[in-house]
Amino acid sequence: MAGRPSRDYAICPRKFAYGRHGVPFTTDAFFAVFGQYNTAIWPLPVAAYVAGLFALVLLRRPNRLSAILVAFILAAMWLVNGIGYHWLFFAPINPLAHVFAAMFTAQAMLLLGAPFAFRDLRFSPGRDLRSLAGLVMVIFAALLYPLWGWLAGHAWPQTPMFGVAPCPTTIFTVGVLLLGPWHAVRWLLVVPALWTVIGGSAAILLNVPQDFGLIATLIVLMSFTVGHWRGDSFALRTAAHDDRS
């Protein structure tokens, strides 16, 4: 990746320019970082779409190899976000970015190890509500999220992009994980759930309306978590899919 972001926004003693909502950066600085980041990693955003499409194709052939490949694709996205975005580009304007980088890197490692820790892990949609919710999240993250951003005035390159920005990557990941067996994926949903809370605040604080999708994702995820704990039928997969506790 070519270059690192400048620190032109560092105007206070701690070198962080606090915005009006108390976050350690302004809205303009936030979107400017995305502009620098997307330009530096180009054409990686295109590769992310190709990888995401390949993951969707793999969902039609649920076997051990496809589970490993899907997990690898998701892990690659989280690693790019952790190291590429948070560590290298977001850190100059946000003192918590290194913590976020650690979170995203840890999630990447969990995803890589999941198919080997749970050898029965498979990702495939069924005729059930959880599968429907997962597919809606996948479509939203890949298509509706960037469209909503464009309608909100977030033009390329100063906009979060699918697969290389934290928020659409989180929504996409949750959607795919909901297509797997609960006993395995519940452990992989912890970090994404945390990010729906952290990243979802951007919908209000930073004028990123498409991030309301993160808040909706959290609500859906909590509903399925409680529903599965209670044994409610809406939260369970169809009989053709293993969904034991």
* pLDDT tens, residue by residue, 161-186: 999 999 999 999 999 999 999 999 99
Structural domain harbouring 160 = 27-235
In a domain, residue 85? The reply is: yes
In a domain, residue 9? The reply is: no
In a domain, residue 126? The reply is: yes
Task: Enumerate the H helices of the chain as residue ranges.
Answer: 27-41, 44-58, 64-79, 97-117, 129-139, 145-151, 166-177, 182-185, 190-200, 202-205, 212-230
* pLDDT score, position 4: 52
Quick one: CA torsion of 150, 136, 37, 190, rounded to 10 degrees? Answer: 140
How many domains are contained in the chain? 1
Q: Read off the amino acid at residue 206.
A: L
Pick the more confident residue, 148 or 21: 148
In a domain, residue 148? The reply is: yes
Averaged pLDDT for residues 50-59: 97
In a domain, residue 13? The reply is: no
In a domain, residue 17? The reply is: no
Whole-number average pLDDT of the chain: 89
**9-18, 67-76, 135-144, 145-154 — which is least confidently predicted?**
9-18
pTM of the entire structure?
A: 0.90
